[in-house]
Amino acid sequence: SKDTGRNAYYFYDEAMNNDAEEHLLLRNGLRLAIERGELVLHYQPQMDIRSGRMVGVEALLRWQSPTFGLVEPGRFIPVAEDSGLIVPIGAWVLEQACRQARAWQDDGLPALTVAVNLSAVQFRRDDVEATVDQALERSGLPPHCLELELTESILLQDVEQVLALVQRLRQRGMHFSIDDFGTGYSSLAYLKRLDIDKLKIDRSFVHDLDQTADAAAIVEAIVEMAHKLGLRTIAEGVESPELLDRLRDIGCDEAQGYLHARPMPAQDFSRYLHAHFHN
Ligand code: C2E
Ligand code: CA
Ligand code: CA
Ligand code: CA
């Protein structure tokens, strides 16, 4: 009826206002989050499927807010990107992740690659190179132990500029992967020119791998294409042994997901590392 229609509109409108309000509250809180020490990194292992050995670790940001509690990145990263706060936050993440990886090496653990998510907003900035160099310098982490995870959306920017930047950082020894691969717009032509190491197969394809033939066909095609281009593949969101078996059959190189471990704070991850490498 007309009445319900008006109510529906009213609620929709209110929801929009609440979103805008939340956005504002989050933004104001985020502004002080770094200096107040409210940002924390959690770490999740990346496993080589054939050997079962840990080869890398992804750093995932969390915000421990006194007002909102533990805020997931899906809620505050978009706010940080819109407000430009992602720039100082991203610089903090890079340095913190590099310092932690270096600390694990100093602790006598085998060198792992630490993977850090870079927002397209960060990647667009002129000072991104200096920011990365500074994180490596201050932490003492060798560049080959750092992997930068980019999303396909960076390819919507000036492509020549992106290709040149990636190449310069690669010459210093850093690694690159394309995150959420298959969900964005990368053209194969750019992919071939982009000097990267690895494709991260999006969780949505991995999740349906054992359920739909389409998802299996997509994962198989990505792995085959990646290998032909000389790239490694890592599957995200690996939650069960069955999925891991399927991925092994397909020839996927690495796996990351709840099957091995959920993302955890640095201290817990240290214990996890010691148990993994000393058993
Ligand atoms: P992402 O880079 O694709 O990260 C993987 C997400 O999948 C993480 O969510 C992780 O906790 C989750 N995950 C890992 N294993 C599994 C699994 O087996 N099953 C399921 N269902 N999920 C799994 P999280 O930590 O909430 O991060 C969400 C997104 O926020 C990330 O997606 C990334 O795009 C962004 N993000 C996180 N940290 C940073 C950061 O430091 N900088 C930037 N720019 N973005 C970040
Ligand atoms: Ca990622
Ligand atoms: Ca991803
Ligand atoms: Ca994602």
- Using the structure block, give the residue that is written with the tokens 């930068």: 148
Q: How many CB atoms lie within 10 A of CB 212?
A: 12
Kindly state if the Cβ of 78 falls inside 6 Å of ligand 1. Answer: no
Tell me the per-residue pLDDT of 151-175, one tens digit each, with 9 for 90 and over: 988 877 788 889 999 999 999 999 9
Ligand at minimal distance from the CA of 256 is 1
Q: Is 173 left (phi over 0), alpha (psi -120 to 50) or beta?
A: left
Query: Separation of 150 CA from ligand 1 center, angstroms?
Result: 13
Query: Is residue 91 lining ligand 1, measured as CB closer than 6 Å?
Result: no
> In this predicted complex, what is the ipTM?
0.97
Neighbours of 33 (CB within 10 A): 22
- Does the Cβ of 179 fall within 6 Å of ligand 1? yes
d(CA 22, CA 36): 20
Over residues 56-109, the pLDDT tens digits come to 999 999 999 999 999 999 999 999 999 999 999 999 999 999 999 999 999 999
Q: Which amino acid is at 240?
A: S
Query: What are the Cα distances from residue 94, in Å, to 18, 41, 117, 206, 211?
Result: 32, 10, 9, 28, 37
pTM, to two decimals: 0.93
Q: Which of 205, 210, 236, 259 to mutate to test the pocket of ligand 1 (most atoms within 8 A of CB)?
A: 236
73 close to ligand 1 (CB < 6 Angstrom): yes
User: What pLDDT digit, counting tens, does each position of 41-55 carry?
Assistant: 999 999 999 999 999
Number of Cβ atoms within 10 Å of the Cβ of 211: 9
pLDDT by residue (tens digit) across 222-266?
999 999 999 999 999 999 999 999 999 999 999 999 999 999 999
Convert the chain into a string of H (helix), E (strand) and C (coil).
CHHHHHHHHHHHHHHHHHHHHHHHHHHHHHHHHCCCCCEEEEEEEEEECCCCCEEEEEEEEEEEECCCEEECHHHHHHHHHHHCCHHHHHHHHHHHHHHHHHHHHHCCCCCCEEEEECCHHHHCCCCHHHHHHHHHHHHCCCHHHEEEEEEHHHHHCCHHHHHHHHHHHHHCCCEEEEEEECCCCCCHHHHHHCCCCEEEECHHHHHCCCCCHHHHHHHHHHHHHHHHCCCEEEECCCCCHHHHHHHHHHCCCEECCCCCCCCEEHHHHHHHHHHHHCC
Residue whose token pair is 């992804």: 58
